[in-house]
Amino acid sequence: MNRHERSPAPEGPDPAELEAHIGRLEAALEREQRAVRHLERLQAATAALVGELDSPRLLEIAERWVTATLGRPCTVVRADGPTPATPAVRAGVGGTTTSCIGLPVGAEPVAWLCIGGDPLDPDEQKLADVLAGHVSRALDASLEVLGRDEAFRTLERSLLPDALLTPPGLQVASRYLPARGIHAVGGDFYDGVRHGDTITLIVGDVQGKGVEAATLTSLARHTLRAGAFADHHPAALLEHLNTALLYGQAEQLMAGLDPVLRFVTAAIARLEPAADGWHVRVARAGQPPPIIVRSAGRFEHLEPAGVLLGVTEHPVFEETTSTLAVGDTLLLYTDGVIEQRQSARAFSEQHLGMLVRNRRSVVDAEATAQLIEDTVHLVAPENIRDDVAILVACAVPPAR
């Protein structure tokens, strides 16, 4: 080649290929930005679902966030409503159902996540599956809490009488207010055991909450009920329960278990018919003193001495006797009535007596129990910090 001849200039990039390459880069950038937006929305949706335990509310939140994240009409349909194939559901997602995902994923659906609009592309389908997984986990947690809560409520109901059977000439009403909390079975209990024309009224409190405390509550209530049917007087009932509690602790030690030392408090009033009303015999073990509010306006506290149950082998329980004439009211209550912790409003035994005395013209056990319940809510308007058990007995003329 002649050295004076020039080499051909290199050819420039093919414009069509360059345009295609730029298009691929722009598409990749768009996918990246889209993925970032999806991730941000996914994180926001997850944050909105965390901690929500009410299933209907959770599904409402999920519907809104899935719609916002996917940018297309979506709806959540409960499994007990129309099936996802019905026109009503299709209409609810814009006329066309692209996909319906059962919730929870991989289990018997309690709801369906239905996505409308055009068919999902692979990225959208992946995002929809991730969203459904997040909703499923939140829904699983909600359903587990709901089932556990219902089990606790069933257990709590089993610790209280279905009804109070009363002898003629006496009205008896009750109230039970559990402390606000998550999955906490209260330790307070009450009972009214009628045997012939005699009735034994019982309120008690087991230290702590939860299933272990509930087991002890059941033991305490049924031990006292059995003794009342055997016509034991109040002090003997407390002695018998104390023996049963110590016996259970000894069983745990013999089995090599660490006994859970929980004390129990109780107050018991036995009412027997008398010529001018009722003869009242009271014993207590660590509970606030029962109160008698007289029809004339005076009220008195019944304060026999007694120690906590399940603590000592040789307890001493005194008994105090009184009478209940027609128009008089007897109150038995656990300490939650007068010891609402963190409450700015003080409410003492004296206040309780005055509260009932001011309504003494109304001899109605149910109305009095409701009055006390309303007052407890007034004292602790946001949260009842301690369980409350109340028994009210009013002496009335026997029905003819």
Does residue 2 lie within any of the structural domains?
no
Q: CATH no. for residue 203?
A: 3.60.40.10
Q: What is the pLDDT of residues 98-113, one digit of tens each?
A: 678 887 777 777 788 8
Q: What is the mean pLDDT of the chain?
A: 79
Q: Are residues 195 and 301 in the same domain?
A: yes
Does residue 297 lie within any of the structural domains?
yes
Q: How confident is the model at residue 291 (pLDDT cuts 50, 70, 90)?
A: very high
Q: CATH no. for residue 115?
A: 3.30.450.40
The larger pLDDT score, comparing residue 121 to residue 284, is at: 284
Q: Which long-range contacts (CB under 8 A, 24 or more apart) does 251-260 make?
A: 260/212
The confidence score (pLDDT) of residue 157 equals: 66
Q: Are residues 207 and 144 in the same domain?
A: no
For the cut 80, the answer to whether the pLDDT of residue 269 exceeds it is: yes
Query: Mean pLDDT, to the nearest integer, of 313-332?
Result: 94
* Whole-number Å distance between alpha carbons of 206 and 226: 18
Name the pTM for this structure: 0.64
Does residue 347 lie within any of the structural domains?
yes
Lowest mean pLDDT among 9-18, 203-212, 321-330: 9-18
Two tokens at 17?
A: 């290929």
Does residue 301 lie within any of the structural domains?
yes
Two tokens at 14?
A: 């093919």
* Whole-number Å distance between alpha carbons of 181 and 147: 16
Domain end point (choices 152, 177, 210): 152
Domain end point (choices 152, 175, 196): 152
Q: Are residues 245 and 135 in the same domain?
A: no
Domain end point (choices 106, 132, 152): 152
Asked if 331 and 344 touch (Cβ cutoff 8 Å), the reply is no
Two tokens at 7?
A: 């080499």
**Residue keyed to tokens 């909390």:** 181
Q: Are residues 133 and 173 in the same domain?
A: no
Does residue 243 lie within any of the structural domains?
yes
Q: Are residues 139 and 189 in the same domain?
A: no
Q: Are residues 182 and 143 in the same domain?
A: no
* Whole-number Å distance between alpha carbons of 241 and 232: 12
Q: Are residues 329 and 357 in the same domain?
A: yes
Asked if 84 and 97 touch (Cβ cutoff 8 Å), the reply is yes
| Bridge partner residues of 394 (DSSP) | 171, 329
Q: Are residues 229 and 288 in the same domain?
A: yes
Q: What angle do CA 328, 334, 337 make, to 5 degrees?
A: 85
Question: What is the SS3 assignment for 131?
Answer: helix
Q: Which of 115, 13, 25, 16 is nearest to 63 (CA)?
A: 115
For the cut 90, the answer to whether the pLDDT of residue 41 exceeds it is: no
Asked if 113 and 89 touch (Cβ cutoff 8 Å), the reply is no
Q: Which of 157, 212, 179 is nearest to 335 (CA)?
A: 179
Does residue 383 lie within any of the structural domains?
yes
Instruction: List the domain range (segments joined by +) for residue 290.
Output: 160-395
Q: What is the pLDDT of residues 361-390, one digit of tens each?
A: 677 889 888 888 887 777 665 555 667 889
Q: Are residues 121 and 216 in the same domain?
A: no
Q: Are residues 186 and 142 in the same domain?
A: no
Two tokens at 178?
A: 């559990």
For the cut 90, the answer to whether the pLDDT of residue 279 exceeds it is: yes
The confidence score (pLDDT) of residue 110 equals: 77
* Tally of domains within the chain: 2
Cβ neighbours for 157, distance < 8 A, ≥ 6 positions apart: none
Q: Are residues 114 and 215 in the same domain?
A: no
Q: Are residues 224 and 259 in the same domain?
A: yes
Question: What is the SS3 assignment for 191?
Answer: strand
